[in-house]
């Protein structure tokens, strides 16, 4: 073979190789085409047994069935959900780690001096999962039958009523601080590492009140272990027949809705985010999922990722103001 023929042969081989390489997906495109090929981790940033855990496991199971790979719940409680939030924000954005975020993640910027991540910048919205009112609960030893009687009892017993929460910066914490500032009452905050251990102490009388999320509160209200005095939503909840709202109970303007949203680390490939968003929307429309939610006073989410991003921005502004006005801080 002459030198000229050898050069032409080499060039043809290089051209053929380039065509083959161009035809094979690389990087994130290849990963997205083959996703999911292994179990997916759903980080639930509160303790097992609480509302976030209940919703995470219910939706995670159905997502796993739809995707053909298990969705494994990983409970990472602490610091009002920010430990779990930071974990996912720093995770490899390969589509195998997601966060079940809550309203607490929009409360945190207002009460923590610094956070190891930026909720709006370091995480990308996939979809709203659920929304639910909170419920004003008291231990059965408290004589109050409604919110006005509770306020009178607190004022007659200054410094003796403690309210529990799932942690500093949680929805229960800021709901309690909003109640304290709106009613001018002297109640003290007792943080826990989740709603379940907090509820255990409320039933036992170690704390006297809580403003807990509906799914965690519901079975204990039905069993008579705690008393429900009001719901925090703008309208009454069908899960609590006869229970008024806080606003109509004499605290005008008081309204809290706890929500749960699926988020991914920033940089997760768009095809993966789009598919997860689509599968989530299908799961939330399943009749048995909606019935389970209805029974616990939960509304299935219905927001596109851009709508959820705008909602998160609004919620962050709202709760930052509440924290400032109430003086709530993470010590």
Per domain, the residue ranges of the chain are 38-131+258-326, 133-249
Is the pLDDT at 117 greater than 60? The verdict is yes
- pTM of the predicted structure, to 2 decimals: 0.83
Higher pLDDT, 224 or 28: 224
Q: Mean pLDDT check: name the lowest of 19-33, 90-104, 112-126, 214-228.
A: 19-33
Is the pLDDT at 1 greater than 70? The verdict is no
Kindly tell me the sign of the dihedral angle through the C-alpha atoms of 277, 313, 132, 215. Answer: positive
pLDDT digits (tens, 9 = 90+) for 232-283: 999 999 889 999 999 999 999 999 999 999 999 999 999 999 999 999 999 9
Q: Which two tokens stand for residue 153?
A: 């009892």
Q: Which two tokens stand for residue 70?
A: 């298990």
The mean predicted confidence, pLDDT, of the chain is 90
Do β-strands 187-191 and 161-165 pair in parallel, antiparallel, or remain unpaired? parallel
Instruction: Could you please state the CATH topology (level 3) that the domain comprising 38-131+258-326 is classified under.
Output: D-Maltodextrin-Binding Protein; domain 2 (3.40.190)
Instruction: Could you please state the CATH topology (level 3) that the domain comprising 133-249 is classified under.
Output: D-Maltodextrin-Binding Protein; domain 2 (3.40.190)
CA 132, 137, 140: angle at the middle one, nearest 5?
150
pLDDT score, position 26: 46
């Amino acid at each position: 073979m002459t030198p000229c023929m050898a050069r032409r042969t080499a060039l043809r081989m290089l051209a053929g190789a380039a065509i083959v390489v161009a035809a094979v997906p690389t990087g994130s495109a290849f990963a997205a085409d083959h996703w999911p090929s292994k179990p997916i981790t759903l980080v639930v940033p509160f303790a097992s047994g609480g509302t976030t855990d209940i919703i995470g496991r219910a939706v995670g199971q159905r997502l796993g069935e739809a995707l053909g790979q298990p969705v494994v719940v990983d409970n990472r409680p602490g610091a009002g959900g920010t430990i779990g939030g930071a974990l996912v924000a720093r995770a490899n954005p390969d589509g195998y780690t997601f966060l079940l975020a809550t309203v607490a993640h929009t409360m945190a910027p207002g009460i923590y001096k610094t956070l190891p991540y930026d909720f709006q910048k370091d995480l990308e919205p996939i979809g709203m999962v659920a929304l639910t009112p909170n419920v004003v609960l008291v231990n059965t030893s408290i004589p109050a039958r409604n919110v006005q009687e509770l306020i009178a009892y607190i004022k007659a017993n200054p410094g003796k009523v403690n309210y529990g929460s799932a942690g500093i910066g949680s929805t229960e914490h800021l709901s309690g601080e909003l109640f304290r500032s709106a009613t001018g009452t002297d109640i003290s905050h007792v943080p826990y590492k989740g709603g379940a251990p907090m509820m255990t102490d409320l039933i036992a009388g170690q704390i006297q009140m809580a403003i807990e999320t509906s799914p965690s509160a519901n079975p204990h209200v039905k069993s008579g272990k705690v008393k429900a005095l009001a719901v925090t939503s703008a309208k009454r909840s069908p899960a609590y027949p006869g229970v008024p709202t806080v606003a109509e109970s004499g605290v005008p303007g008081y309204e809290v809705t706890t929500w749960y949203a699926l988020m991914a680390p920033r940089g997760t490939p768009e095809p993966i985010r789009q598919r997860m968003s689509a599968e989530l929307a299908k799961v939330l429309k399943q009749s048995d999922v909606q019935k389970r939610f209805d029974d616990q006073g939960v509304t299935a989410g219905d927001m596109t990722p851009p709508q959820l991003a705008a909602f998160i921005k609004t919620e962050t502004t709202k709760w930052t103001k509440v924290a400032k006005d109430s003086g709530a801080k993470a010590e």
